[in-house]
Amino acid sequence: MSGSRTLATVAFADGQRVPVLGLGTWTMGERAGNAAREIAALRAGLDLGMTLIDTAEMYADGGAEKIVARAIAGRRDEVFLISKVYPHNASAKATIAACERSLARLATDRLDLYLLHWRGRTPLAETVSAFERLRRAGKIVRWGVSNFDVDDIEELLALPDGARCAANQVLYNLGERGIEWRLRALCHQHGIRIIAYSPLGQGALLTRRKLATLAASYKLTPAQLALAWLLAQREVIAIPQSSSVSHVAECRAAADVRLPPAALAAVDATFPPPQRARPLAML
C-alpha cells in the first residue's frame, strides 16, 4: 500500500500547486511554554515537505501567527501561507487592516491565500471587494472562504468577482462526511479547492474502536488510515494540527499510503457516506 516518498500535490485554479498534506495551527500560541515544541513541530513538517501552513487571526488572538513567523523564519519562500479574517473584521476597511496585522505578526509581505473564516453580517460583496483590493496590492496572492455551505458558495459565485474564490476550508473527516452530498462536487465544478480542517476530528476520531481495528488490519495507525482515506479523495488538502514532531512524522507517512479498493470499501462500510443533505458541520 506504500507509494512514492514525494508528497503529492494539488493545483489551484490558477495553476499553483501545493502539497496535499499541510500543517494546521489551531491551539498553537496559547501558552508560551509550548512555543518551542510547536515551532519544532512546524519546522519538522516543513522538512518533510508539508510546506502548506494554515493559521488565522483568531487562533490565540494572533499568537499562532507569531509562532508560524518564528517557524518559517529564513524559509518564507518555501511556504504556502494561509491565514483567515474574522467575520466581524470582514468589512471593506476592517479586512484591509486585519490583513495588515496578520502580515505583521507573520513577518511577511504577502499571504498566499486569505480566507473569510465564516459567514458574518458583512455582505459578501463587500468582503470580496476588500479581498480583491488586497490581491491587486500584492498583499495576498489569492483568496477564499471557510465554513461555506452550498447556498453560501452559490451566493458567492453570483458576485462579479466570486469566481476568483480559490478554496473553501471545511470540516471534513471520516466521522463528518456531509460535504460529500453536494458541496464537494459544487466546489470541484468551479475550481474551488477543498481544504479539510480537523481531519482527525481533533483527536476524537482516533479513539473510535472501529477505526483502530480497521487500521490495524492494514498495519496502519488510526491517524494514518484516516488521513490516507482523506487524501484519496479527489483534490482535497488536509491540514492536521500537531505540536509533536513524532505525530507530524506519523501524519506525513500517511501521504505515502495508497489504499486498495477493498480498504476504501471497508472504510465506507464502517464510516458511511451521507445519505441525505444536512447543514454543514462546523467546529
Query: In this structure, how many other beta carbons lie within 10 angstroms of the beta carbon of residue 189?
Result: 10
Query: In this structure, how many other beta carbons lie within 10 angstroms of the beta carbon of residue 283?
Result: 10
Give the C-alpha distances (Å, rounded to integers) separating 116 from 4, 60, 89, 268: 35, 17, 9, 32
- Please tell me the distance from the alpha carbon of residue 48 to that of residue 266, in angstroms, as a whole number: 29
Q: How many alpha carbons fall within 13 Å on the CB side of residue 203?
A: 5
Three-state helix/strand/coil letters over 84-143: EECHHHCCHHHHHHHHHHHHHHHCCCCECEEEECCCCCCCHHHHHHHHHHHHHCCCECCE
User: Amino acid identity of 55?
Assistant: T
Beta strands in the chain (DSSP E): 9-11, 17-19, 52-54, 80-85, 113-116, 143-146, 167-171, 193-197, 236-238
Phi, psi dihedral angles at 110 (to 5 degrees): -160, 155
Measured in residues, the chain has a length of 283
Candidate list 59, 114, 172, 197, residue with the active-site label? 59
Clarify whether 59 is annotated catalytic: yes
Among 222, 196, 224, 195, CA closest to 211: 222
Copy the grid coordinates of residue 97. 487592516
Positions marked active-site: 59
